[in-house]
Amino acid sequence: MPVDMRMLKSEFMSRVKCHLRSLKAEVIQPDESVKLAAQTTIERQNKMAILKIVKYPEAVLERAGDAVTEFDDDLKQLVSDMFETMYNAPGVGLAAPQVGVSKQVFVMDCSGGKDPQQKIAMINPKVLHTEGEYTAEEGCLSFPGIFFDVKRPMRAVVRAQDVNGKEFEVDGLELTARCMLHEKDHLDGVLFLQRTSPLKREMAKRRIRKLIKQGEW
């Protein structure tokens, strides 16, 4: 073992030296702000953050999000932070407006972290097809403690882009369809409150106003 370690160390050192030489050739004395920006980028790449989830009636929740045009590191950071925030909540879906970012981005995982194939980020999603309908209870991270029966399609086919801009489609049934449509609604500024009866909507709004007054919302 000690021999291996020594070999590893000497190989590592020669690589570092080689890398430093190439850096010297490429870089002409960066100023302090450039160095700082580079440092911040490196730190951000290694970190995920739990973002603050905004609650109804924050205005951003009822505004349609802008289309994503740049598939850059900032987008990747936003998506990984949104996954972290969603799992932490915990929830099965989270849309960018719910973390105060008015963009066409949502994340979902109907397996609650158990099945990696269900961990999906959808950028600029479009609903291509829906069929059937069924009613089930829904909640929303922007409405903690509030649940409604909501009627939605049984199946939904949604086309979106991934964090690299590559198009893909999800053909989802039941919870997957429900989740995609609930999150897509968020990106259009539509809340699940609007998917229930006017009476239930008014009752929920009254309850929320009361909770706000009591400082419990």
Shortest distance, CB of residue 160 to Ni ion, whole angstroms?
A: 17
Q: Which is nearer to Ni ion, 144 or 165 (CB)?
A: 144
Task: Identify which range of 52-60, 77-85, 133-141, 207-215 contacts Ni ion by CB under 5 A.
Answer: 133-141
Q: Which is nearer to Ni ion, 118 or 142 (CB)?
A: 142
Nearest CA among 131, 105, 93 for reference residue 188: 105
Q: How is 177-207 classified by DSSP, letter by letter? A: HHHHHHHHHHHTT--GGGGS-HHHHHHHHHH
Q: Determine the Cα–Cα distance for residues 176 and 92; give it in Å rounded to an integer.
A: 10
Shortest distance, CB of residue 7 to Ni ion, whole angstroms?
A: 54
Q: DSSP code of 63?
A: S
Alpha carbon distances (Å) from 182 to 30, 32, 38, 171:
47, 46, 38, 15
Q: Determine the Cα–Cα distance for residues 107 and 1; give it in Å rounded to an integer.
A: 45
Please confirm, yes or no, whether 169 is among the known catalytic residues: no
Nearest CA among 27, 183, 13 for reference residue 105: 183
Among positions 138-177, residues that touch Ni ion (CB under 5 A) are: 140
Catalytic residue among 174, 183, 202, 216: 183
Q: Which is nearer to Ni ion, 71 or 81 (CB)?
A: 81
Report long-range pairs for 70-73 (Cβ below 8 Å, ≥24 apart): 71/123, 71/161, 71/163, 71/164, 71/165, 73/41, 73/44, 73/45
For 127, list phi and psi in degrees, rounded to 5: -80, 120
Shortest distance, CB of residue 77 to Ni ion, whole angstroms?
A: 22
Shortest distance, CB of residue 111 to Ni ion, whole angstroms?
A: 18
Shortest distance, CB of residue 93 to Ni ion, whole angstroms?
A: 7
Nearest residue by C-beta to Ni ion? 140
Taking residues 86 to 125 in sequence order and writing x for each that binds Ni ion by CB under 5 A, - otherwise, the string is: ----------------------------------------
* Helices 32-45 and 73-88, axial angle in degrees (round to 10): 40
Q: Which is nearer to Ni ion, 80 or 142 (CB)?
A: 142
Interaction site with Ni ion (CB under 5 A): 140
Q: Which residues are known catalytic residues?
A: 183
